Amino acid sequence: MTYLEKLENAVQKSQSTLCVGLDPNLNLLPDVTREKIGSTSELVFEFCSSVIDVTQDHCAAYKPNLAFFEALGKKGLKVLDAVLDHIPDDKIIIADAKRGDISSTAEHYKKAFFDKFNVDAITLNPLMGFETLDAFSDDESKGVYVLALTSNPGADDFLKKPFEGFDMMAEYIACSLFERSVNTEAHLGMVVGATQSAEARSVIEYHSKASLLIPGVGAQGGSLEELANTLAGHEGIPLINSSRGIIYAGSDQNNWKDHVSKAAKTLKENLSIITQNYVG
């Protein structure tokens, strides 16, 4: 099965394009989890597995952010591995790693994420050149999401500046990915920020069949109506990510899991104006 087929199945089955970002920040975890649990590693596992339990009816995908697991130190990847094991098989798992390196280093990142942790897709940073994608190109069952346009202020330093005859470097990236076609549309995606809709549209138009990973919804702002307009006609399947807006929705509440579940359910429903274009 190609990555695209697995993605289609996950969206169809859940009737959702929601991706829940797993960013377990120790300073923001619900107080109630702290009382019951011993070590930091156990606390993070308990939190993440609870979030997965109460959101899985509402999302197509989970996106663990590597930084938050590496911040646990030498036990970090063991906790990540346990959390990944807890995610149902019919969900897409995207390792938000933003790796970008060459030759044998890239091969080893591939080995880490695709072989050892067996995630479905990874986010990649192309600054060192498109050859950084080559190691991830030969297996269509695994997806890559290449950074194209982000929604942070620093996007003005590189990604939104004119480059190589394009109005924005992000367009150059999208166009190059399309022309290069080393990674086929069966497993190629782009990361495109949601908060700048006109700019996002000009980027995705260069590669209308690329899957999309769209951060910037929820805690980072961004209007869903605008996003629906931006995506109108785009053939590649979008996953819309929310991290903090969902997983910390009930941090100061005893019934925090209910708040997390409700936040995911509400966002899934609000995303239906987008999802309806990609489900049967």
User: What number of other Cβ atoms are within 10 A of residue 166's Cβ?
Assistant: 18
Contacts of 141 (CB under 8 A, 6+ apart): 1, 2, 3, 6, 187
Task: Specify whether the CB–CB gap between 177 and 210 falls below 8 A.
Answer: yes
Minimum CB separation from a copy of itself for residue 235, in Å? 26
Identify the CA nearest to 196 among candidates 219, 217, 178: 217
Task: Specify whether the CB–CB gap between 120 and 186 falls below 8 A.
Answer: no
Minimum CB separation from a copy of itself for residue 125, in Å? 5
**Helix (H) and strand (E) counts in the chain:** 12, 8
Task: Specify whether the CB–CB gap between 23 and 68 falls below 8 A.
Answer: yes
- The residue (of 48 and 228) whose beta carbon lies closer to a copy of itself is 48
Minimum CB separation from a copy of itself for residue 108, in Å? 4
Minimum CB separation from a copy of itself for residue 81, in Å? 4
Question: Token pair of 214, please?
Answer: 């769209």
Q: Is residue 209 among the annotated active site residues?
A: no
- The residue (of 56 and 132) whose beta carbon lies closer to a copy of itself is 132
- The residue (of 155 and 203) whose beta carbon lies closer to a copy of itself is 155
Minimum CB separation from a copy of itself for residue 163, in Å? 6
- The residue (of 117 and 278) whose beta carbon lies closer to a copy of itself is 117
| Nearest-5° Cα angle at 102, 97 to 104 | 100
Minimum CB separation from a copy of itself for residue 269, in Å? 27
Binding site for a copy of itself (CB under 8 A): 23, 25, 65, 67-68, 70-78, 80-81, 98-106, 108-109, 111-113, 115-117, 125-132, 147, 150, 152-159, 161, 163-164, 176
- The residue (of 16 and 196) whose beta carbon lies closer to a copy of itself is 196
Active-site choice (75, 98, 209, 262): 98
Buried b (16+ CB within 10 A) or exposed e, 108-138: ebbebbbeebebbbbbbebeeeeebbbbbbe
What is the C-alpha to C-alpha distance for residues 146 and 140, in angstroms, rounded to an integer? 15
Residue with tokens 């019919």: 90
- The residue (of 68 and 278) whose beta carbon lies closer to a copy of itself is 68
What is the C-alpha to C-alpha distance for residues 239 and 200, in angstroms, rounded to an integer? 14
The shares of helix, strand and coil residues in the chain, as percent rounded to the nearest 5, are 45, 15, 40
Task: Give, as one character, the DSSP assignment of residue 112.
Answer: I
Active site residues: 98
